[in-house]
Amino acid sequence: MEAINLNRLAYFVAVVDAGSFTRAAARLGITKTVVSQQVARLEADLRTTLLLRTTRRVEPTEAGRLLHARSVIILREAEDAFGEVAEVTTNPIGTLRIAAPNDFGTSTVAPLLAKFCRTYPACTVDLVLSDAKIDLIAHHIDVSIRVGWLADSSVQARRIGAFRQLLVAAPDLARMISADVPDNLDQHPFIANGALREPLVWHFSRADFDRRTVRMRPAMTINATPAVLAATLAGGGLSVLPDFLVADPLQTGALVQILTDWSLPSGGIHVVYPAARFRPPKVTAFVAMLEAEVKRPPIASHGSTVLT
């Protein structure tokens, strides 16, 4: 079937509805000449007379009445479709698919979703937890959250916050650590996080000038952060964990922070979008909410500057 100019349908329908080329042109905001031309072309395309013209009246032929009836429906549906799309592009609505690492997703994103869904009832959320770097497009991910230190490739990521890494231990174990400098930490059992690039070497700093680098001696290595937390809670050893994971255990006393004067390198919390020309409001709304949540330090502590 040859492609036929669908736009002319609108002109044709306007003429039939208005019952006059002149009024249709006025309604469409263009010249009657154009309307006449366009309808004539439509007729030429279809090789049919759609309208019988008198200088005083315009009456559709049978084919014209037929086409008009169908066209009205078509145009209305098109308008509806555009309206629906406009809805999606202006209001937070639809299904929001979020990708996040297991730990951050579980500890921070998941709790936030309740609030998000309450705030934007028209949104459905789909949280995809995975520590592997997944294909955003293939998985229809609207926004992906990356925590830690980005590889060079992800330059299009936007940093929305930071997290601190805390040296923690179960209370029983913590009581055995008396030193107030990191130097001899390798004497204590350490639970290494295999998911990190350098799980053993840690750079401590204090008051902007005091720096020490310590190489820990791993009692065990676990390549998933939540499991590291579990092992630490069970008293398996010291470990370095992100603040968003240990906020609760520290508050309840299930874990104790060690060397509170010293700080470890901060990591970034980033959002990554698929390369889209326009960002749906549902995404913007969620990222705004997440950013607010993340900027509020999860654990009141000594003045660590949050990187911007």
Which residue number, 52 or 288, has a Cβ lying nearer to DNA? 52
How far, rounded to the nearest angstrom, does the alpha carbon of residue 200 sit from its chain's CA centroid?
32
Which segment (7-15, 167-175, 194-202, 208-216) binds a second copy by CB under 8 A?
A: 7-15
The only residue of 54, 178, 252, 305 in contact with DNA, by rule CB under 7 A: 54
Under the binding rule (CB under 8 A), the answer on residue 304 touching a second copy is no
Site string for a second copy, 64-83 (x = CB under 8 A): --xx--xx-xx--xxxxxxx
Closest approach of Cβ 21 to a second copy, in Å? 15
| Per CB under 7 A, 135 contacts DNA | yes
Q: Does 46 bind DNA (CB under 7 A)?
A: no
Vertex 199: Cα angle to 171 and 162 (nearest 5)? 80
Q: How many Å apart are CA 190 and CA 231, to the nearest integer?
A: 10
Burial class (CB in 10 A: 0-12, 13-18, 19+), 305: exposed
Among 15, 21, 25, 43, binds a second copy (CB under 8 A): 43
Q: Which is nearer to a second copy, 47 or 197 (CB)?
A: 47
Segment contacting a second copy by CB under 8 A, of 84-92, 153-161, 171-179, 243-251: 84-92
Q: Is residue 132 a contact residue for a second copy (CB under 8 A)?
A: no
Pairwise CA distance, residues 81 & 167, whole Å: 55
Instruction: Report if residue 38 touches DNA, rule: CB under 7 A.
Output: yes
Among 122, 134, 137, 151, binds a second copy (CB under 8 A): 137
CB of 167 to DNA, least distance (A): 33
Q: Does 252 bind DNA (CB under 7 A)?
A: no
Residue 95 interacts with a second copy (CB under 8 A)? yes
Shortest Cβ distance from residue 143 to DNA (Å)?
17
What's the rounded Cα separation, in Å, for the pair 227 and 233?
A: 10
**Residue 41 near which of DNA, a second copy, none (CB within 5-8 Å, type-dependent):** DNA
Q: Write out the residues near a second copy by the rule CB under 8 A.
A: 1, 3-7, 9-10, 28, 40, 43-44, 46-49, 52-54, 57, 59, 61-63, 66-67, 70-71, 73-74, 77-86, 88-89, 94-95, 136-138, 140, 142, 274-280
Q: Write out the residues near DNA by the rule CB under 7 A.
A: 5, 7-8, 20-23, 29-34, 36-41, 51, 53-58, 135
